[in-house]
Chains A and B, each alone.
Chain A
Amino acid sequence: MSFRSKMISKLLSERPSREAYIRSKLAQVIPSQIKALRLREELTQKELGDEADMKQARISAMESPGEVNFTLQTLIRLAAALNVGLWVEFLSHTEMLRRENQFSQDRFRPVRLKEDRAFLRPAADEKQDAMSNLVPMPRLAANQGDNADQFGEMALMSGGVIGNLAISGGDTWIHQ
């Protein structure tokens, strides 16, 4: 019987084996992520410990597979200290395996909070900010109203440097 066949049989029949399977993945991947993040920040274990209010020895243990039973609070504190987010979810075994296979410590580089532009400046805010930089153009003459939608295109085709055009509430605005 292959190891995989033996494993599947155990997973289907015994809860402790299912626990062992899940633990075997997390016990490697979590320390691997912590280590990758700490090294990216060029922090020593002591420095990360200071950031997270933990002792260096505890950071060392958390980077060693199976040494620590992580609590959610510990992970939250580490994520906060490392300036990244954290998400825990239940999922299928297929998905768990896929994520383990795709995981690479070398390439594990979640965006830091201070560089997370999509989070810090959501699209709506950026749009709002962009609108505040606009200046109004004179309204089009009444007889041009029916063709107002074409105005922007015409202006752009004329070759003048006018920036991007935006239409808002019937007025035409130009980015400065």
Chain B
Amino acid sequence: MGKKAKDKKNVIASMPEQATWTFMSFVTESGRAVAEDWDTVQTFAAELAFRSMVKINRKTTNHLEWPAWRHPMDEEAGKAGVVELGFKEDGKPYRFLCMFNGKKCIVVLCVAYHKGGVWTPPKAVDIATKRAKIVATGKAKLNVIQIEDDL
């Protein structure tokens, strides 16, 4: 090993390996990536909050410790593996219906609001369940949600 290579080795900081989750978006038949083009009003503030949520969560090993983690869904949605993440922004309770897909990978299936037991769009859970089943077949088109560190 040359001197230069040795020197380089000496300056690499010793850091524990970070958990890295991959966040993906379900892509509809029409080519719409649902995590980029939401089923709800997508304000600038909510979009920023979503990006921050992904940035923080993807580095946290245990998904149950994600601040945005809420719970697995009940009934048919739950059986299909749909889980709920969420945050509040613009006074609205945004909900991200997702499913786990392989090791350290989570797929956003539908973006909705949920307030007082009312979903917006009203069929958000059904939509997410249907999409989860497609993902489970392995035939869904999925996009990686790229959040750069310069945002």
Contacts and interface: CB of A to CB of B under 8 A. Distances in A.
Nearest to B151: A4
A121 interface: no
Contacts of B56: 28-29, 32, 100, 103, 105
B49 interface: yes
A127 interface: no
Contact of B45 (A20, A28, A39, A67): A20
B14 to A, nearest CB: 13
A56 interface: no
A100 B49 CA distance: 13
A127 to B, nearest CB: 31
B55 interface: yes
B28 interface: no
Nearest to A39: B65
B134 interface: no
Interface string A87-110: 000000000010011011111000
Interface residues of B, number: 27
A162 B111 CA distance: 72
B87 A27 contact: yes
Contact of A23 (B45, B53, B67): B45
B49 A35 contact: no
Contacts of B44: 7, 10, 17, 20
B60 interface: yes
Q: Which of B47, B48, B60 has most A Cβ within 10 Å? A: B48
Interface string B61-76: 1000101100000000
Contacts of B55: 28, 100-101
A49 to B, nearest CB: 17
Given A27-B87, A106-B60, A65 B53 contact: yes
B40 interface: no
A66 B49 contact: yes
A34 B51 CA distance: 20
B32 interface: no
Interface of A: 3-4, 7, 10, 17, 20-21, 23-25, 27-29, 31-32, 35-36, 39, 63-67, 97, 100-101, 103-107
Interface of B: 16, 18-19, 44-45, 47-49, 51-53, 55-56, 59-61, 65, 67-68, 86-89, 148-151
